[in-house]
A and B are shown apart, each in its own frame.
Chain A
Amino acid sequence: MTQEMQFKTIVAQYCEVTPEEMNNTMRFREDLGFSSLDFMSFLGELEDTFDIELEGEEALQVRTIAEALDLLEKLQQEA
């Protein structure tokens, strides 16, 4: 499974959109229906799955799937 697909599989736990149906411009809250806590919990899962550490402020500015994937990639490069 590609990293992007693995990422989208985690996203799919919190919404009714399948990984295949997701496009990267979708917004977590408005388009995927994430609650504020869904999003926090999702960030925690990203940390555990991809072995990264998220800084609260930066992570909370993320609005779309593309932005989250960019942040993930950036943090992995920094690690």
Chain B
Amino acid sequence: MGTLIRDVLEDSANKFADITAVKWLKKKEIFERSYSELMKDAVAVRKGLLAEGFRGKHISLIGASSVEWMESYLGIITGNTIAVPLDAGLPGEDLIDLINRSDSEALFLSPRHKALLDEFLKQCPKLRKIWLLQEEETDSADERIASLAELKAASQKADADADRPEPEDVATIIYTSGTTGKSKGVMLTQYNLASNVEAVEYTAEPGTRVLSVLPIHHAFCLVMDWLKGFSLGATVCINDSLMHMVRNMSIFKPDVMLMVPLMIETIYKKLASVDAAIPKKAVAANVFGGNLKIIFTGGAHLDPYYIDQFAEYGVDVFEGYGMSECSPVISSNTPKIHKAGSIGKPLCNVEVRFENGEILVRGSSVMKGYYQMPEETAETLKDGWLHTGDKGYLDEDGFLFINGRVKNLIILSNGENISPEEIENKLALNMLVGEVIVTGENNGLTARIYPDQEVVAAKRLDGEAVHAALQEFLDQYNKNQPTYRQITGLVVRKNPFIRNSTKKIKRQEALVDEPLPVA
């Protein structure tokens, strides 16, 4: 078993040299790059980073899926540098916070985010260099700004290559929602990534087409679509926009896809809306492109109903379970071993046990810890056991089931984990907001607000005016947020929230808005 993710990638570059590693669309034309070409580019990035003095440093990446993003990522993690993929959909202030908190000294930035260049350089004191993810040179007079093409060109003059990392070296830091309202940087080592890629029991012929539709900064997409795909010699096709997912299925004709349940639900609506008289095989060919046989899903619970429905169209849906802290897969149903409604059997490299119903996991995919967060690390990792925050059980056949959550995270069916506290802290800054709790309902977020009565009285607002003012505030808030963090529902409470003996709001009773009992 390889102990470095670099071993896995180099092995693939040798074995599958002439096979197409990545395909993508540019103005409706398909472009592609082979395994040998991709690895050559990754090595150029790696040497360039070394030549520019970034040995051992943290390097952020901001952008949607692209071949430039991926060759940069591979260049970072196969060297002695640490990759920090960030959510390109976050507002600028959040990205600045994460660049600073991750101690990133360089950044690969998609040209679409060019407008943020100055802010990043001004507000991120450690940032020494930004490379735009483009093949053209930049025209910037600022020597801190260059392009990926310039980095690769500069590396041609450099002979030195980065040393092989050690298995326990951190390869990547992935930010995930924190229950304390602050996102946490999950540190995954070379060995963590390699062992997760190898432990997931799925094999496919080299050249198998995978259409990658999830955000690339997500561990599930990054490790399973890309790194696992590369380990098999798969061709990873980039979906350029969620708007075009169905169109791109017919263009790339994928054999296998990874999805979050929300995508399965949306596609099912399309399948179900087709005239029942049309044969399902023809419908499947039209919607899925004609080759799709397998969908792996995770990130949130999938109603088993969809598994049966998709089977009628010739597509098997296999649900799995994981979290960034576990690189990310913990268990998965597979074509050979599966049970509907379960999240599959734990991978061969993880042990599972339960504490008061909570699933605890130990094994070679479990993270090293949270970056610069010793307290949170100690709370989550105890004696090597990762406390998942999910409640579950193993059935008599060894399949894992989930039946609840310990922590406050809201899991939406698009797989996004939302920390309600993080949003509540921001909403509470409005003077009219007295108390606020964010809940996940109908696959969206609802803000339940008890208005500040003093402000209501001072401004002489009636119920309608309070509602309108709060809705206007939420509309403003939503404008700067990625879709999954927008508040789509508002409930204005008549009464304060019910609190426990330590005066904390009882979240589980947040939906109840009854008159307070007389003291």
B247 contacts the other chain (Cβ, under 8 Å)?
yes
B262 touches A54 (CB 8 A): no
User: Which residues on B sit within 8 Å (CB–CB) of A54?
Assistant: 243
Interface of B: prevailing SS: helix
Partner of B243, one of A33, A35, A43: A43
- In chain A, positions 23-70 with a C-beta closer than 8 Å to chain B are 29-30, 33, 35-38, 40-41, 43-45, 47-48, 54, 56, 60
Which residues from B are CB-within-8-Å of A35?
A: 262, 265-266, 413-414, 443-444
Residue of A nearest to B260 (CB): A37
Give, as a whole number of angstroms, the nearest-CB distance from A37 to chain B. 5
Q: Closest residue to A46 on the B side, CB-wise? A: B243
If over half of A's interface residues share one DSSP class (helix, strand or loop), that class is named, otherwise mixed; here it is helix
Q: Are B245 and A44 in contact (CB under 8 A)?
A: yes
Let me know if A41 and B273 touch, CB within 8 A: no
CB A48 to nearest CB in B, in angstroms, measures 6
How far does the alpha carbon of A12 sit from the alpha carbon of B275 in the complex, in Å? Answer: 13
0/1 interface trace, chain B 241-253, chain A, CB 8 Å (1 if under): 1111111000000
* Cβ-defined contact, B269 with A38, below 8 A: yes
B283 at the interface (CB under 8 A from A): no
Contact of B241 with A37 in the complex, beta carbons under 8 Å: no
Cβ–Cβ < 8 Å partners of B247 in chain A: 44, 48
Let me know if A29 and B444 touch, CB within 8 A. Answer: yes
Complex CA gap A37/B260 in Å reads: 11
In the complex, the chain A residue whose C-beta lies closest to that of B264 is: A37
Question: B313 at interface (Cβ–Cβ under 8 A)?
Answer: no
- Let me know if B263 is at the binding interface, CB within 8 A: yes
User: Does residue B488 face the partner (Cβ distance < 8 Å to A)?
Assistant: yes
Question: What A residues does B241 contact at CB under 8 A?
Answer: 40, 44, 56
Q: For the complex, what is the distance from the CA of A12 to the CA of B444, rounded to whole Å? A: 20
Chain B positions within 8 Å of A60 at CB level: 483
Q: Which residues of B contact A38 (CB under 8 A)?
A: 266, 269
- 30 A–B contacts from the bound complex (CB under 8 Å): A13-B270, A13-B273, A14-B269, A14-B273, A30-B488, A30-B489, A33-B442, A35-B262, A35-B265, A35-B266, A35-B414, A35-B443, A36-B444, A36-B484, A37-B242, A37-B263, A37-B266, A38-B266, A40-B242, A41-B245, A41-B266, A41-B270, A43-B243, A44-B241, A44-B245, A45-B246, A47-B244, A48-B247, A56-B241, A60-B483
Chain B residues engaging chain A, CB cutoff 8 angstroms: 241-247, 262-263, 265-266, 269-270, 273, 413-414, 442-444, 483-484, 488-489
